[in-house]
Structure 1
Amino acid sequence: MAITAQKNNPLHGKTLEYIVTALSNHYGWAELGYLLRFNCFVKDPSVKSSLKFLRKEEWARKQVEQLYLDTFSK
């Protein structure tokens, strides 16, 4: 049952690090900070600091995942 549920999940197999890296490469940190308004994207941004924040705050992670889906799943 779980395998079937993952089959249609576009985020399956993509790590949070992969998602943050893809978004930062696509938009750049400044645009990412404008779109999502997280300090980890605005003040001294890095993948490492972003991951630390996003792993603590589920609501923020969900916003990043949704932006990834909106950007790359067309």
Structure 2
Amino acid sequence: MQKSNDPLHGVKLATIIDELVDFYGWEYMGNTVNIRCFTHRPTVKSSLHFLRRTPWARTKVEQMYLQLLQEKAKQ
């Protein structure tokens, strides 16, 4: 049995959003990825709804999460 090389393998989108919000906060996320679900009354539920239906935004959020993992690894 091989382990996946993809760091996102098995990580739920809700977990990604929760960790990003805990580390960066909604304001930073809204400034980094300019999408309404991060800037106007942000919630995890509204973000999940939007990101599941918008591939380009999900890709940007996943990239932000990968950067977060790299920052945590350096600490």
* TM-score normalised by structure 1 residue count: 0.88
User: Runs of at least 4 residues of structure 1 off by over 6 A?
Assistant: none
Q: CA deviation at 1:13?
A: 1.0
Q: Which residue of 2 aligns with 1:61?
A: 58
Identity %: 44
State how far apart, in whole Å, the 2-side matches of 1:31 and 1:55 are: 21
Q: CA deviation at 1:64?
A: 0.3
Cα deviation code 1:21-59 (max 9, x no counterpart): 110111111111011111100000000000000001011
Q: CA RMSD in A?
A: 1.3
**2:50 partner letter:** F
Q: Which runs of 5 or more structure 1 residues have no equivalent in the other structure?
A: none
Indicate which of 8, 12, 22 corresponds to 2:9: 12
Q: CA deviation at 1:62?
A: 0.5
In the alignment of these two chains, the number of paired residues is: 71
